Structure 1
Amino acid sequence: MERYAFNFLQSTADLSISAQEYLWSIFGIKTSSAAVKNLVHYQPEFESQIFTFCGTQIAMNSLARRIAGLSGAAAVAMAGFSAHRVLMDPTIDERRKKAVDNANKHHFLHTLAILFSPYARFPLLTVSLFASGILMFCGSCYAYGIWNDDKIRAISPLGGLMFILGWLSFVL
């Protein structure tokens, strides 16, 4: 690949060297051209920062997309389960039904927030805050609505705090 990658650029030396230098400095692509091998390349100081940033950005996009996919699937599953099991059950009081409905709305909203978290300055922090908020806030509301467990509701404010901190992490 390296040997034949830029043969079409090697017809004119100036164009070949400048294009190959550009591709090498930006993308790290090296060619086997004799003119380029003998040339001392300028390596910008920010090159490692670009690759570190791009690598982190790509990895965080992938991680956030996977977590958002799992969270979205769980939100849809919980919406279906609560619609058929909790909201249609006449023995469950309105307070528990509202808790499950509220949890599902927040679950969907913050799943989208996880999807956009790679745009934050500290994406891993943002994903972690939103994911922990979903687990603590939505999980405790789901548990209260489904099993009528009052004790677990004590975690809800902590999950809400995680949501707030997750949104504030976009400001950093």
Structure 2
Amino acid sequence: MPIKNLLILAACTGALAIALGAFGAHGLKSILSPDALATWQTAVFYHLVHSVLLIGICLRLLVDDARRLFIAAYSLCGGILLFSGSLYILALGGPRLFGPVTPIGGVLLIVGWLSIAAYALRLPAPDR
């Protein structure tokens, strides 16, 4: 996927996180149980945090198209989809079969962070 498309996806993912957060706070507050609402809020939090991280990675990719950063970006996209997506579905009363999907998404988020660390380890030391 070209960096431009990845950046557009990252921005849309962030916008979606804000919209889903507002929907949860205003549209679902009186419908969902407190536990389900807490699950929704967890999904929104992880969704938004990783969307912001994805934007940062995309901006770095504009100047350095390092393979590890692409791995991080794709892992974060998959992690957002599987982790937050499964939590959204579960909060809305979806089938419990989505429960095992959540940790897979969590592992992808961790892979994204570790890919950033692997990228950083290969950067030259500053001249300070």
TM-score (norm: length of structure 1):
0.59
Return the match for 1:78 from 2, 20, 23: 20
Instruction: Please list every run of 5 or more consecutive structure 2 residues that lacks an aligned counterpart in the other structure.
Output: 119-128
Structure 1 position 84, deviation (Å): 2.4
Give the distance between the partners of 1:106 and 1:78, measured in 2 at CA.
12
CA RMSD in angstroms comes to 1.7
Where in structure 1 do 4 or more consecutive aligned residues deviate above 6 Å? Answer: none
Return the match for 1:104 from 31, 44, 64: 44
Q: Equivalent residue for 1:68?
A: 10
The SS at the match of 1:79 is helix
The SS at the match of 1:170 is helix
Q: How many residues align?
A: 111
Give the distance between the partners of 2:96 and 2:38, measured in 1 at CA.
14
Instruction: Please list every run of 5 or more consecutive structure 1 residues that lacks an aligned counterpart in the other structure.
Output: 1-58
Q: Is the contact made by 1:133 and 1:159 (CA closer than 8 Å) also made in structure 2?
A: yes
Q: Is the contact made by 1:137 and 1:157 (CA closer than 8 Å) also made in structure 2?
A: yes
TM-score (norm: length of structure 2):
0.78
Identity %: 23
Structure 1 position 161, deviation (Å): 0.4
Give the distance between the partners of 1:105 and 1:170, measured in 2 at CA.
20
